[in-house]
Structure 1
Amino acid sequence: MSYTHTWTVRFSDTDPFGIAHYPRMIDAIHEASDAFMEHVGYPYWELTEEHGLGLPLVSMDFDFTGQVRGGDRVEIELTPEVGDSSVRFEYVATHDGEVVFEGTEFRVCVPVDGDGGVPVPDDLRAALERTDE
C-alpha cells in the first residue's frame, strides 16, 4: 500500500527568499505519517491510548533535491514496510512531477510502559500492509 498526502507550502513555511525551510519539510513528512495512520484506522493518539503501543521514530534519512515555494502543492507518497518489531516509512515527495525530496523513517513498536521493541501486533500489521486504498 502506498498513501499520498498533499502538503501546501504556506508563507510561514518559507525563508526570506520564499523557499521552504527543510525543518518545515520534515514537519510535512510527520503530517503525512499522521494522516496515513489515521487513514489505516490507527491514529497515533489511539495507538497509545487504546492499544498501549507507540511507534517512536528511531532514525530518519532524507535527501532534498529540489526547492518548493509558498503556494506550491507537494505530493508526499508514503509506502510502509513492516518488519518484526519495526516499521519503515519510505517517502517520495514531488512537485509538478519532479522529486523534491525523498527518504525514510524507521520506527520501532514499543509498549507505552516499556522501553524495548515488541512484535508489531497482527491487526496493526494487517492495517499497515493493506493493498487497497
Structure 2
Amino acid sequence: MNVSYKRKVNFYETDAQGVVHHSNYPRYFEEARGFFLESINFPYPDVREQLNIDIVLLELHIKYRHPLFYGDTFEVLTEFKMDNRYFFRFFYTIKKGNETVSTGETKHCCIDRSTRKMVPVPVEIKLRLK
C-alpha cells in the first residue's frame, strides 16, 4: 500500500539560502506517517487509546538527492512493510514533480503504554493494512 501526502515548503523550514534545512525531512516523514495511519482509518490518537500502545521509532535513514526550496510543492509517498511480528518499517520517497528529492526509511515497534515493554504489532493494525 502506497499513500501520497502533499505539502508546500514553509519559509521557516529553510536556511538563509532558501533551501530546506536537512532537519526538516524527518518531520516530513512523521507527517506522512501520521497521514498514512489516517488513510487506513486508524489515526495515531486512536491507536494509542484503543490499543493502549505507543509506536516507537527505532531507526531513521535518509538519503538526500536534490534540494527543496521555499514555496516548492512536494509529495511524500509512504509504504508500510512488516519485518516480523514485532518490527515494521515505513519507506518514504519525497518527490517534486517527477524528480526524487529524498528517500528514507524508519523502523518501529510497539510498546505497551502501561508497562513500556515491547509487544507484537496488534492484529487490528495488520488487518487494516491488508
Q: Which secondary structure does the structure 1 equivalent of 2:17 belong to? A: coil
**TM-score between the two structures when normalised by the length of structure 1:** 0.91
**1:44 alignment partner in structure 2:** 44
Q: Map 1:1-133 onto structure 2 (within 5 A).
A: 1-82=1-82, 83-127=84-128, 129-130=129-130
**TM-score between the two structures when normalised by the length of structure 2:** 0.93
Which consecutive unaligned segments of at least 5 residues does structure 1 have? none
Cα offset for 1:50? Answer: 2.0
Cα offset for 1:56? Answer: 0.9
Cα offset for 1:17? Answer: 0.3
Which consecutive unaligned segments of at least 5 residues does structure 2 have? none
CA-based RMSD: 1.2
Q: Which secondary structure does the structure 2 equivalent of 1:120 belong to? A: coil
Q: Which amino acid aligns with 2:109?
A: V
Cα offset for 1:47? Answer: 1.2
Cα offset for 1:7? Answer: 2.1
Structure 2: distance between partners of 1:55 and 1:35: 15
| Structure richer in strand, relative to its length | 2
Q: Which secondary structure does the structure 2 equivalent of 1:55 belong to? A: strand
Deviations 1:76-126 (A, max 9, x none): 000000231122000111112111110100010111112332111222112
- Asked if the contact 1:87–1:109 (Cα under 8 Å) also holds between the matched residues in 2, the reply is no
Deviations 1:5-29 (A, max 9, x none): 0121011111110000111222111
Structure 1: distance between partners of 2:87 and 2:63: 22
